[in-house]
Structure 1
Amino acid sequence: MVRSIELIATATFGLESVVAHEVKKLGYDVTVDNGKVTFFGDEMAICKTNLWLRSADRVLVKMGQFKATTFEELFQQTRALPWPDWLPEDANFPVEGKSVKSQLHSVPDCQAIVKKAVVEKMKQAYKKEWFAETGPRYTIEVALLKDIATLTIDTSGVGLHKRGYRKLSSQAPLKETLAAGLLSIARWYPDRPLLDPFCGSGTIPIEAALIGHNIAPGIGRNFAAEAWPVIPRELWVKARKEALEQENRDVKLRIYGTDIDDEVLSLARYHARQAGVEDSIHFQRVPVARVRSKQKYGFIITNPPYGQRLGEMPEVEKLTRELGETYSTLDTWSCFVISSFEKFERFFGRKADKKRKLYNGRMECQYYQYFGPRPPRPQRPEEPPVQENID
């Protein structure tokens, strides 16, 4: 029997609509809230969303939601939830927690209460007094917001930004999920050139290549729920097989990453190899001031240095000015820059057409968006070419 499971795809602030679009593309109806997208699906939905969501942080099973202003309420309502439907007798079930603007503000106490309530429910179902917790991992979270408790189980394990290709790291890497979100907001399409002139260890170009070849971002990693007996192994096998069949390696992509640091460019090439997209990206050592292109209607999408320390600001101002000067030479291109530099527009040389608040980790940033002209529509074969009159 197919059952309907309430699921939550968590999202970084500002990317909720992007994650909602990705979930809808997989065929599920969504409800969007701050930091999360809620939807209903079956066991296969757990497999597909973990494999395919590019901008979500995690996929959670929503066990229940209720008001709790006392520990007794939290205990009784947690114990009433159907934990044995998910947790086998040997389940390893740590409890994590958070509390915002709630009377139950002690997170360690809330975690302990939830753990005790789940154990009591398990005792009732399995007719035993003690659980070894030697089996698969089921990370439970109790999240309290304004006295409303939401209980979930994490199906992803390690966060979805861990694609598996980035074994090494540069000093200030951009999360893969945020990089994918930047590409989605910019509405970059694989038939258009893409340049990241501050590519660092290559995250934006690599995420673009994964999108361009329709490669599922989670295809190279495992998930916590793969070890759960409640989800048949054949569902994961089927979901992975379908994902591999949907890849399109024949698409010719024009993706470029430049930087001035040979060491991070070496990292970028290594990561591209790990992701299986090395042949789709051209990395080159070029300072931003010297970046030029004869191609038309391309996209600059980049995460330049922000300058968090006082002594770095002159360099950030210089690089921002040079980026603006480079962009001024690309008259048909669009440009999208995520930055926490408050004077970005001033040094870039023009006001953004649109801005969007995003967070890079805990750092508040703006996503500055400069829209170039749309490319001309391809001429249909039956249409005669337009003739210019020269008198």
Structure 2
Amino acid sequence: MRPYRCFASCLPGLEEMLRGELAALGIPKPEVSKGGVRFFGHRRSVFRVNLCSGLATHVLLRFPKFEAKTFFDLEKGFRRLDLEPLLKEGEPISLRVQAKKSKLIHSGAIEDRFRSFLGKRLPGVRFLEQEPKDPLDPEGLFQAVQIRVFFDRVQISVDSTGIPLHRRGWKQAVGKAPLREDLAHALILASGWDRETPLLDPFAGSGTIPIEAAGLARRLAPGRLRRFSFERGAIFDEEDYQLEKMRAEKQSLPGLGFKLFASDRDESVLTLLEANAERAGVAEELDLRVGTFDQAAFLSGEPKSEQGAMVSNPPFGRRVQETTGLEQLYQALGRKLRLLPPSFHIALLSSDRRLTQRVGIDLKSAFLVPFGGLRVRALVR
């Protein structure tokens, strides 16, 4: 069987990190492209990236692009698609259409023509008007086709993922301004943490950073709890999928010989964190404490450790509509961080460089990504 032409999408700004992750997963010759990473892979590679990538958002199986300036051109291009190896007849399908800077600009008309074409090619096809949101629900699985028209070039892809990969399945309780799991994953990787020494998040909220860190340290597959669109598609093979799941499980660790510390001044949000950690299967790895950041582990002076990492997403104003007192908070945080050993890794996420300058530590930019209508930067030491 010929390999699939694949594209793993990610948050813009994380492409190079994703390329490194895919290479570490054994994907041959991954190539950075705008918004993601291209690669060629067989069925098991598609399963592996969906299951094991902490940075990707979708894994698309792409058909070759074609030019279409008229609907006649568009329908002619549809007829050349070899859909049967990817889409299964009788399973629900969601269509996502986007058209920009092209002669064919009306996405509704493009969708209507593809629906008509697909109804003839795959009799009995059912189209979803709204995609399910629960990545754990086996009844909510669906096939997805993405059509993108840009400068009269048509790119059609089958989405093997469905619900975005950052929806791991364990985060069912969230506090204010929750952090996406893939962004937390990237911040932890950028910190330089060795995954063998303690880690601290003094602004833990509902726990995205410490839970992702625990998963990384135990080498748990990020997608271990959830379901994927490929399970409904023609690409699916149960034996191959179980082999990939077994491969991932063999690499995991049953536990850690150290703790990851998570604290927050809001006791109620730590209750949410604990529930999320239980669902993720990493509650035993976490030490949860109620208190302000200066009462957190290491920052309070206890316990002591020469090695470790402080990785956090402190409040940065627009994210929670709070601006007063933040400069003083960052200054106070900086005073505590300067007491940590020089070997301690530090990583902060913020949309306001002026605030992080108040920390008074030489922090270097690791990446810049769009998030929640802002551009947020990872700053590391």
Q: Could you state the TM-score of these two structures normalised by the residue count of structure 2?
A: 0.89
Instruction: Look up the equivalent residue of 1:49 and give its one-letter code.
Output: V
What is the match of residue 350 of structure 2? 339
Q: How does 1:132-151 map to 2 (within 5 A)?
A: 137-151=142-156
Instruction: Look up the equivalent residue of 2:57 and give its one-letter code.
Output: D
Calculate percent identity across the aligned residue pairs.
27
How big is each residue's C-alpha offset from its partner over 1:100-137, in whole Å with a ceiling of 9 and x where there is no partner?
43333322222223333333444xxxxx6x64569973
How big is each residue's C-alpha offset from its partner over 1:128-160, in whole Å with a ceiling of 9 and x where there is no partner?
6x6456997321111223332211111112111
Q: How does 1:274-293 map to 2 (within 5 A)?
A: 274-291=279-296, 292=299, 293=301
Cα distance between partner residues in 1 of 2:40 and 2:295: 50
Cα distance between partner residues in 2 of 1:319 and 1:275: 31
How big is each residue's C-alpha offset from its partner over 1:65-123, in whole Å with a ceiling of 9 and x where there is no partner?
1233333222211221111222233132231122343333322222223333333444x
What is the match of residue 379 of structure 1? none
What is the match of residue 22 of structure 2? 23
Q: Matched residue of 1:199: which SS?
A: coil
What is the match of residue 72 of structure 2? 72
What is the match of residue 110 of structure 1? 110
**1:212 to partner: Cα distance:** 0.5
What is the match of residue 49 of structure 2? 49
**1:361 to partner: Cα distance:** 3.4
Cα distance between partner residues in 1 of 2:143 and 2:187: 31
- 1:267 aligned onto 2:277: no
Check whether the contact 1:301–1:335 (CA below 8 A) recurs between aligned residues: yes
Q: Matched residue of 2:171: which SS?
A: coil
Cα distance between partner residues in 1 of 2:264 and 2:125: 53
Cα distance between partner residues in 2 of 1:30 and 1:119: 35
Q: How does 1:160-175 map to 2 (within 5 A)?
A: 160-175=165-180
**1:367 to partner: Cα distance:** 1.4
The structure-2 alpha-carbon separation of the partners of 1:312 and 1:133, relative to structure 1 and needing over 3 Å to count, comes to closer
**1:251 to partner: Cα distance:** 3.2
Instruction: Look up the equivalent residue of 2:338 and give its one-letter code.
Output: S
The structure-2 alpha-carbon separation of the partners of 1:75 and 1:318, relative to structure 1 and needing over 3 Å to count, comes to farther
- 1:4 aligned onto 2:3: yes
Equivalenced residue count is 363
| Larger RCO (CA within 8 A; separation ≥ 6) | 2
**1:44 to partner: Cα distance:** 1.0
> Which residue among 354, 357, 364 is the counterpart of 1:353?
364
Check whether the contact 2:85–2:234 (CA below 8 A) recurs between aligned residues: no
**1:51 to partner: Cα distance:** 0.7
| Structure 2 runs not aligned, ≥5 long | 129-138
Instruction: Look up the equivalent residue of 2:76 and give its one-letter code.
Output: Q
Check whether the contact 1:200–1:268 (CA below 8 A) recurs between aligned residues: yes
| Structure 1 runs not aligned, ≥5 long | 123-127, 372-391
What is the match of residue 317 of structure 1? 327
Cα distance between partner residues in 1 of 2:353 and 2:331: 14
Q: Matched residue of 2:376: which SS?
A: strand
What is the match of residue 184 of structure 1? 189
Cα distance between partner residues in 2 of 1:100 and 1:286: 50
Cα distance between partner residues in 2 of 1:212 and 1:311: 34
Check whether the contact 1:64–1:152 (CA below 8 A) recurs between aligned residues: no
Q: Could you state the TM-score of these two structures normalised by the residue count of structure 1?
A: 0.86
Cα distance between partner residues in 1 of 2:102 and 2:32: 22
Cα distance between partner residues in 2 of 1:19 and 1:92: 30
Cα distance between partner residues in 1 of 2:33 and 2:255: 38
**1:350 to partner: Cα distance:** 4.0
The structure-2 alpha-carbon separation of the partners of 1:229 and 1:140, relative to structure 1 and needing over 3 Å to count, comes to closer
> Which residue among 288, 302, 306 is the counterpart of 2:316?
306
Check whether the contact 1:288–1:322 (CA below 8 A) recurs between aligned residues: no
Cα distance between partner residues in 2 of 1:132 and 1:55: 31
**1:338 to partner: Cα distance:** 0.9
The structure-2 alpha-carbon separation of the partners of 1:99 and 1:285, relative to structure 1 and needing over 3 Å to count, comes to same
Please say which of residues 319-328 and 205-214 is displaced more in the overlay. Answer: 319-328
Instruction: Look up the equivalent residue of 1:76 and give its one-letter code.
Output: K
How big is each residue's C-alpha offset from its partner over 1:238-274, in whole Å with a ceiling of 9 and x where there is no partner?
2112222221124323311111010111111111111
The structure-2 alpha-carbon separation of the partners of 1:353 and 1:36, relative to structure 1 and needing over 3 Å to count, comes to closer
- 1:237 aligned onto 2:215: no
Q: Matched residue of 1:235: which SS?
A: helix
Check whether the contact 2:5–2:62 (CA below 8 A) recurs between aligned residues: yes
**1:287 to partner: Cα distance:** 0.8
